[in-house]
Amino acid sequence: MKTVLMVAEKPSLALSIAKILSRNSLNTRKGISSACPVHEYSGKFKGEQVRFKVTSVCGHVMSIDFEGKYNNWEKVDPSELFIAPTIKKEANPKLNIVKYKMKYSRDSDYIVLWLDCDREGENICFEVLDIGNKQDAVFRAHFSAITDKDINAALNSLGRPNENESLCVEARQDLDLRLGCAFTRFQTKYFQGKYGDLDSSLISYGPCQTPTLGFCVDRHDKIQSFKPEPFWVIDVKVKCPNNGPTISLDWSRFAFFNFSNSISWIHSHTILLLAFLRGRIFDQSVAKMYLSLIKESKKAIIKNITKKEKTKQRPQALNTVEMLRVASASLNIGPQQAMQAAEHLYTRGFISYPRTETTHYPENFDFRSALSTQTRSRSWGAYVSSLLSTGFTKPRKGSDAGDHPPITPMLCATEQEIGGHDSWRLYEYIVRHFIATLSPDCTYMHTVVQFKIADETFTCTGSLPLKAGFTEVMPWQSINDHQTLPTLQTGDECSVERAELLDRKTSPPDYLTESELITLMEKHGIGTDASIPTHINNIGQRNYVTVISGRKLQPTNLGIMLVHGYNKIDADLVQPTMRSAVEKQLNLIAQGNKNQKKHNY
């Protein structure tokens, strides 16, 4: 009987795949590597009865390094590392993965590779094949979720591993090794013993890590160079007719004001306070002049009321970057922790593959089936059932990056089944986001009331929800029910209760949040959706930034000094443009349009 060796990326994935394909009829035993058990069962493959052996690696099998003599910091000039020969060596010799895979590859007739379906996964495919020195009778399984349907479909539509994507990873590894080691050695040796208060024995440089730090220091520099400027605002409150509430008005003299778009509302009993579109006057004498004119008039006359129905769109399908942004900004979960939680959910079959740039579902995606699994939830099951009965809305058109479908819940689970506080909160968000993409848009009535006080125009704005739509399942996105105005008519007169001058000062920008940093990294092509969390985590672990309240990133003295030093030597060392250009070249290798051996430094 022939043997089929199936290799997954992690032991937990190997077990899940084996259970699905064997229908829980399998035998498990220890392998040569204690970390990677072997699961065996019999079945059909390519029309014949075979013996399946399902096992795994533990991430990358091999790592890249310099030949031994180049690892001597004292005898080797850092500049030599740009042309020094490199070797591949076992990433974790204690696991015996190489010996393990050599034996099983030799004893197998076919190999089916179940590595993660991304570039790193393709590279690990070829690491496994190179170890076994076996290139024939090799197949690649492509899948996006650990479900019966996806795994069986993958086995029935096997392809081949993508060598170009593997070569792209090798080029990145080679480049990062040379740049990272050369600059790390240089700056560590330079600073050692000179600045004892910098609190770091190893001062590392990374082609992605350093531009990431650069964004944080750039914001720090803007904060430090900011000079507060005094300004004045006129606070006007009027009493509505018929013993109505007291409301605050926004001044519409555009010649003197910069208007923001944020409006917050507070309603308490008969007092309705509407926050300003903060009109600012930077000349106190002018501010006092207008205040005097307003105080002389004791009436605010309603000149116009406009009502317009507006729509708040449901979200697009969820990709990795958006998941990381939300996790940090709304769930207080750092990018690294969020990615670990997502991988945990994926390997246990609760969500689809969490590394994807795509926000557009394939045309044949079975939304009804995905929704139906969520009907038994106590939290959102009733809403989903209603959505299925009335008809769900087709998701908004997104971007198809050609990788995996958007992040999607695959199973309905309780907090107890998920385990782990962060994992549950992330899972709940992913489910609610998915349901929201298939829900109607939220609609509301937007009202603008225009007042005249003396010859000056003031406005008051309110919003009244009409149809909750997707905000039923994402209540934090709802149009607040208290954002309503009292009943007013054109020509109504309101009495001016208060008009006073408030002195203020302009505020500096705040430190970058993790969410804002993720946005900048995506925009400038620093890292990939999978590596962005690692780069952010690295600048914290290496004492270049600290995470302060609100998940803001405050650079340390060491981080600030490094970036300022890079800018004086060569700004390209810290600017995002260099890494972005490199990523474009690496993409050409992945697409087969550039020779990996011809990249230079």
C-alpha–C-alpha distance, residues 243 and 587, integer Å = 67
Average pLDDT across the chain, whole number: 89
pLDDT of 481 reads 57
In the DSSP assignment, the letter for residue 159 is B
Average pLDDT (225-253) is 89
C-alpha–C-alpha distance, residues 128 and 58, integer Å = 11
Average pLDDT (26-40) is 88
CB 139 within 8 A of CB 567: no
* CATH class given for the domain over 167-225+510-598: mainly alpha
Count the Cβ atoms, other than its own, within 10 Å of residue 378: 7
Angle, helix 209-225 to helix 576-590, in steps of 10 degrees: 150
Pick the CATH number of 2-161 from 3.40.50.140, 3.30.1360.20, 3.10.450.40, 3.40.309.10: 3.40.50.140
Closest-CA residue to 98 (of 54, 127, 131): 131
For 498, the 3-state DSSP assignment is: strand
At residue 442, what are phi and psi to the nearest 5 degrees? Answer: -90, 135
User: Does the pLDDT of residue 247 top 60, yes or no?
Assistant: yes
pLDDT of 598 reads 56
Q: According to DSSP H, which parts of 93-201 are helical?
A: 97-106, 119-132, 148-155, 163-191
C-alpha–C-alpha distance, residues 497 and 235, integer Å = 11
Which residues on adjacent β-strands are paired with residue 232? 281, 503
Tell me the chain's radius of gyration from C-alpha atoms.
30
C-alpha–C-alpha distance, residues 63 and 555, integer Å = 31
At residue 449, what are phi and psi to the nearest 5 degrees? Answer: -105, 125
Residue indicated by tokens 């010996």: 99
Percent of the chain with pLDDT over 90: 68
pLDDT of 253 reads 57
More confident residue, 574 or 136: 574
pLDDT of 255 reads 40
Closest-CA residue to 11 (of 40, 35, 32): 35
Q: What is the domain partition of the chain in residue ranges?
A: 2-161, 167-225+510-598, 230-308+446-461+480-505, 320-437
At residue 536, what are phi and psi to the nearest 5 degrees? Answer: -65, -40
The fourth-level CATH superfamily of domain 320-437 is: Topoisomerase I, domain 4 (1.10.290.10)
Closest-CA residue to 172 (of 492, 456, 584): 584
pLDDT of 163 reads 94
User: Does the pLDDT of residue 144 top 60, yes or no?
Assistant: yes
C-alpha–C-alpha distance, residues 144 and 405, integer Å = 7
pTM for the full predicted model: 0.86
pLDDT of 583 reads 87
For 558, the 3-state DSSP assignment is: helix
The fourth-level CATH superfamily of domain 230-308+446-461+480-505 is: Topoisomerase I, domain 3 (2.70.20.10)
pLDDT of 349 reads 93
Q: Please confirm, yes or no, whether 70 is among the known catalytic residues.
A: no
DSSP 402-454: SSPPPP-B-S---HHHH-SHHHHHHHHHHHHHHHHHTSPPEEEEEEEEEEEET
CA dihedral over 32, 38, 44, 47, signed as positive or negative: negative
Angle, helix 97-106 to helix 119-132, in steps of 10 degrees: 70
Of the candidate ranges 132-136, 159-163, 573-577, the one whose mean pLDDT is the lowest: 132-136
User: Does the pLDDT of residue 325 top 50, yes or no?
Assistant: yes
How confident is residue 480, by pLDDT bands cut at 50, 70 and 90? Answer: confident
pLDDT of 3 reads 94
pLDDT of 597 reads 65
Percent of the chain with pLDDT over 70: 92
CB 371 within 8 A of CB 413: no
Count the Cβ atoms, other than its own, within 10 Å of residue 468: 19
Structure-token pair, residue 129: 């094949």
**Exactly one of 104, 346, 353, 361 is catalytic; which is it?**
353
Of the candidate ranges 32-41, 94-103, 230-239, 530-539, the one whose mean pLDDT is the lowest: 94-103
pLDDT in tens, 344-397: 999 999 999 999 999 999 988 999 999 999 999 999 999 999 999 999 999 999
CB-side neighbour CA atoms (13 Å) of 204: 17
pLDDT of 102 reads 82
pLDDT of 277 reads 36
CA dihedral over 202, 205, 206, 212, signed as positive or negative: positive
In 3-state terms, the chain is what percent helix, strand and coil (to 5)?
40, 20, 40
Average pLDDT (454-481) is 90
pLDDT of 470 reads 97
C-alpha–C-alpha distance, residues 215 and 204, integer Å = 17
How confident is residue 133, by pLDDT bands cut at 50, 70 and 90? Answer: low
C-alpha–C-alpha distance, residues 534 and 573, integer Å = 19
CA dihedral over 370, 372, 377, 382, signed as positive or negative: positive
CB 560 within 8 A of CB 545: no
User: Does the pLDDT of residue 278 top 50, yes or no?
Assistant: no
pLDDT of 101 reads 78
Closest-CA residue to 35 (of 52, 16, 10): 10
pLDDT of 519 reads 96
Average pLDDT (58-86) is 92
- Cβ burial 188-227 (10 Å sphere, 16+ → b, else e): beebeeeeeebebeebbbbbbbbbbbbbbbbbbeeeeeee
Residue indicated by tokens 């003299």: 253
- Cβ burial 275-292 (10 Å sphere, 16+ → b, else e): ebbebbbeeeeebeebbe
Average pLDDT (99-119) is 88
